[in-house]
Amino acid sequence: MSRMNILITGAGGFIGQALATALAAEGKATSLILTDVVEPAAPHSAQLTTRCVQGDLTSQKLCDSLLTRDLTHVFLLHGIMSGAAEANLELGIKVNMDATRTVLDTLRTVNPGVRVIFTSTTAVYGPPPSPGFSLTEANAPCPGSSYGAQKLISETLLNDYSRRGLLDGRIVRLPTVLVRPGKPTGAASSFASSIFREPLNGQKSTLPVCKDLSLWICSPRTIVKNLLHARDLPTKAYQGGSRVVNLPGVTVSIHEMLEALKAIGGQEAFDLVKEQRDAPTEKIVESWPAKYDTLKAKELGFTEDGTLEQTLKDYVEDYGTNKL
């Protein structure tokens, strides 16, 4: 493809900003549109033409202005995260379902066949059939949260539009992304970043779940690499089947995460994490399986993640701390 005109929704978020920065550094894109409910920041690039737009994607008028025939790739990253979607059902439906459908329906009309990369979540699964069970894309989803249900509905729609040739979808189910910089988010998994980010900056953090719980996690660097890989995969790679891929990650327990914090930040950082169980958060996190067989992702060439210790070192290198 000689030109790449790319749109990123939810571009003001952490992954959206990291992806925009990677696209600017890569040098393949001709133009880039970034949109979110708050106007996103543009990456530094003298070569890349970038337009930043504030707006609500449930607005047909906004979609008509953004979703034009010249787009070659659309990254759908917008969303209300798990904890917030559980607390406010109507808002979750509006953002995670209605806005996504508005975008997809506009694209299939204005720009049929355009490549759409949709970030879904492993929260589409409910609890595993048995402890330690490794899930694959062949296991039937049964969400244990409204967020997972809303993402699954959008997955199904994009899969069907791809089956019909209306769009060229790539659906990637993200592990919990660790470590996210900035402030805590509305995600139930937000604590997983907070128990590293805040202590490494000399601030207290709260652990709302049991230390025995495990999470399926992935580093930001690997997530961005895999989003770019999803963009570049030829359509024939999916062999006419489902466009869903569970992205690679690693399984870690909360106890292992705290030990990694101690190894990187010392006892002082470790002591800043205080246990304060929160039943609603724990219920959501407990419903997420922590082990996956990602053979499909590996066969398609997606990048595997490194160790938790390396992820923390990368975070410190990329974003720094006030303590190290």
Q: Would you state the pLDDT for residue 7?
A: 98
Q: Which of 195, 191, 187, 288 is nearest to 246 (CA)?
A: 288
Asked if residues 257 and 207 have their Cβ atoms less than 8 Å apart, the reply is no
Q: Give the residues of the chain that fall short of pLDDT 70.
A: 1-2, 46, 321-324
Known catalytic residue at 147: yes
Q: What is the pLDDT of residue 324?
A: 45
Over pLDDT 70: what percentage of the chain?
A: 98
Q: What is the reported pLDDT for 1?
A: 54
Can you tell me the distance from the alpha carbon of 28 to that of 81, in angstroms, rounded to the nearest whole number? Answer: 30
Q: What integer pLDDT is reported at residue 300 of this predicted model?
A: 97
Please tell me which residue in 147, 238, 292, 315 is annotated as part of the active site: 147
CA–CA separation, 260 vs 319, rounded Å? Answer: 18
Cα–Cα distance for residue pair 117/75, rounded to 1 Å: 5
Q: 250: which strand partners?
A: 217
Task: Note the pLDDT of residue 73.
Answer: 98
In angstroms, rounded to a whole number, what is the distance separating the alpha carbons of residues 207 and 209?
A: 6
Q: What is the pLDDT of residue 2?
A: 67
Peptide bond between residue 179 and the one before it cis (omega within 30 degrees of 0): yes
- Cα separation, 135 vs 126, in Å, equals 11
Q: Find the largest Cα–Cα distance for the chain.
A: 57
Q: Residue 297 corresponds to which tokens in the numbers above?
A: 């992702």
Task: Please report how the helices 254-270 and 308-319 are oriented relative to each other, as an axis angle in degrees rounded to 10.
Answer: 50
Q: Report pTM.
A: 0.92
pLDDT value of residue 127: 87
Per-residue pLDDT, 57: 95
3-state SS, one letter per residue, for the chain: CCCCEEEEECCCCHHHHHHHHHHHHHCCCCEEEEEECCCCCCCCCCCCEEEEEECCCCCHHHHHHHCCCCCCEEEECCCCCHHHHHHCHHHHHHHHHHHHHHHHHHHHHHCCCCEEEEEEEHHHCCCCCCCCCCECCCCCCCCCCHHHHHHHHHHHHHHHHHHCCCCEEEEEEECEECCCCCCCCCCCCHHHHHHHHHHHCCCCEEECCCCCCEEEEECHHHHHHHHHHHHHCCHHHHCCCCCEEECCCEEEEHHHHHHHHHHHHHHHHHCCEEECCCHHHHHHHHCCCCCECCHHHHHCCCCCCCCHHHHHHHHHHHHCCCCC
Strand partners, 35: 9, 53
